[in-house]
Amino acid sequence: MFIKSFNTWVNTCLKLSISIVLLTSLFLINTLPVHASTDVGGPITTDTVWTVSNSPYIVVASVEVWEGVKLTVEPGVIVKFNSGTKLQVNGELIVQGTDSTPIVFTSNQDSPAPGDWGNIEFTSTAITTTIDSGNNYVGGSIMSHCVVEYGGNQAESVIVARSLMINHCTVQNNTARGIFNVGTEASPSVITNNVISNNSVKVANSASNLYGGGIYAEYSAVIANTVNNISIEVADVSEVFDGILGGGIYARFSSVKDNNVSGSSVAVSRNYPHEANVHGGGIYAEYSSISGNTVVSNIIKAKGCRAYALGGGIYAWDSIVTENIINDNSTSAEADCSQSTANSYGGGLYLFDSMATGNRINGNSAHSSPGYSRGGGVYVVHNSTLTENTVVGNSSSEGGGVYAYAGSDTYVDDNISVTVISNVISENTATYNGGGIYAYAFGQYNASVDVSSNIVHGNITEGNGGGLHIYAHTNAYSCYANANVSGNIFSNC
């Protein structure tokens, strides 16, 4: 009797425990937050916050933040764009995620693909970023700790901004330039610690130019970004097409520092009778400083009636290039009509009115068909100076390490000079002349080239001048051509 009563008591307790567990589970399910999506579209006319609790936000029609209005996006929010939509900011946008909870702008397709949606555009009336003297954020619009992906439809850039801070963002898998950010001298833009990768741009029969496949910057601090695997492909385009400047980064009046630029591929092919022009496979810079960057494995291919592939790693115009690693970049030019020229100059670095100091320039190459490729490591031209660099293991048809050209194409420039001084130039190869250095003073109006105090070792050529080939040329337009060669150490030439 006792045993039967005990068993009945145990069974009752078990049933009661199971009921309590079920009730508790139902209570927890009913009280957990449910993240239903929130549809958005059209104008935002009052200050608005997009919250995590209402995320994800589905952009069903393009969103426009009106002038004088602020949109704040909380950390962790996901914004998904339908096809053909974009975010336009005429007022203020605050995007401040964190390392662990970034803000994501992405496609709303089940199987996302590059070009699914448009872009994020700050117009001329948008509130810019206020920074202090150390480039730290003080106020205004900002994009920080965010992801922008699968955009670029009918857009030249996925992010279009003016004097904006873009920091710790990943811009990936888009069909347009990653970032377009133009500052001013009084209000510079800041582009720091971002990753811009796997973006591709195809141009056909429409564009007049393309500057910067990963980043376009003016009056900007472009610091510690990773720009890799940018692909630019240009088929035959209209007669007004100027060319490509900067496969990875285009910078003007800017500081380009401590970036990693790698794996950019720029291919331009134009039909008769047009030119194909590409300058700067990794970085193109005007009136800028380029320092401490790693620029590796970028490729230029130019094909046209006349083809110009200049500066596989870096093209510098009136700029200072210091302490960069410029390795394994290449230029290739092919001319495909009669009596035309293929110009492939500066497999690693092209200097025009610029100075390069303390760079390591290794394993770069320049190729031309037909014609001569020049400066497998460095092409130095028009009042430029190359000093205290290491140039090793580069190749081209002339000037396997360095091609120094004191000249101009116009016969009007006066006192043109090129200086190559105190460099280590070794183990470079030329198939024609100047395995280490090819120095050419063309001779119009006091042109001169100075090759002094270099260590030139172990360079190879199938033609003349394993270490150095020098040519001073005069013609009917010339006043004086001078070549100074002094204090160099040659060995194993």
Q: Could you read off the pLDDT of 426-465 as tens digits, one per residue?
A: 999 999 999 999 988 775 557 788 888 999 999 998 888 8
How far is Cα 478 from Cα 474, in angstroms, rounded to an integer? Answer: 6
CA distances from 46 to 69, 92, 332 (A): 6, 11, 54
CA distances from 233 to 57, 62, 227 (A): 34, 29, 17
**Residue 24 in this model has a pLDDT that exceeds 60:** no
Confidence of residue 234 (pLDDT cuts 50, 70, 90): confident
How far is Cα 63 from Cα 279, in angstroms, rounded to an integer? Answer: 37
Residue 307 CB coordination number (10 Å): 28
Output the pLDDT for position 413: 58
Residue with tokens 């949109």: 71
Output the pLDDT for position 225: 98
Q: Is 340 helix (H, G, I), strand (E, B) or coil?
A: coil
User: Among 292, 295, 289, 286, which residue's Cα sits nearest to residue 329?
Assistant: 295
Q: What predicted TM-score, i.e. pTM, was given to this entire model?
A: 0.89
How far is Cα 76 from Cα 107, in angstroms, rounded to an integer? Answer: 16
Residue-averaged pLDDT of the chain: 86
Confidence of residue 477 (pLDDT cuts 50, 70, 90): very low
**Residue 409 in this model has a pLDDT that exceeds 60:** no
Strand partners, 325: 294, 360
Residues in the chain: 493
Residue 203 CB coordination number (10 Å): 19
How far is Cα 5 from Cα 1, in angstroms, rounded to an integer? Answer: 6
Output the pLDDT for position 6: 39
How far is Cα 216 from Cα 205, in angstroms, rounded to an integer? Answer: 22
Give residues with Cβ within 8 angstroms of 410, minimum separation 6. Answer: none
Where in the chain are the domains?
1-32, 142-491
Mean pLDDT of 143-147: 98
Give residues with Cβ within 8 angstroms of 18, minimum separation 6. Answer: none
Stated as kind and residue range, the H or E segment containing 5 is helix 2-31
Q: Is 57 helix (H, G, I), strand (E, B) or coil?
A: strand
**Residue 248 in this model has a pLDDT that exceeds 90:** yes
DSSP 423-453: -EEES-EEEEE-SSEEEEE--SSSEEEEEES
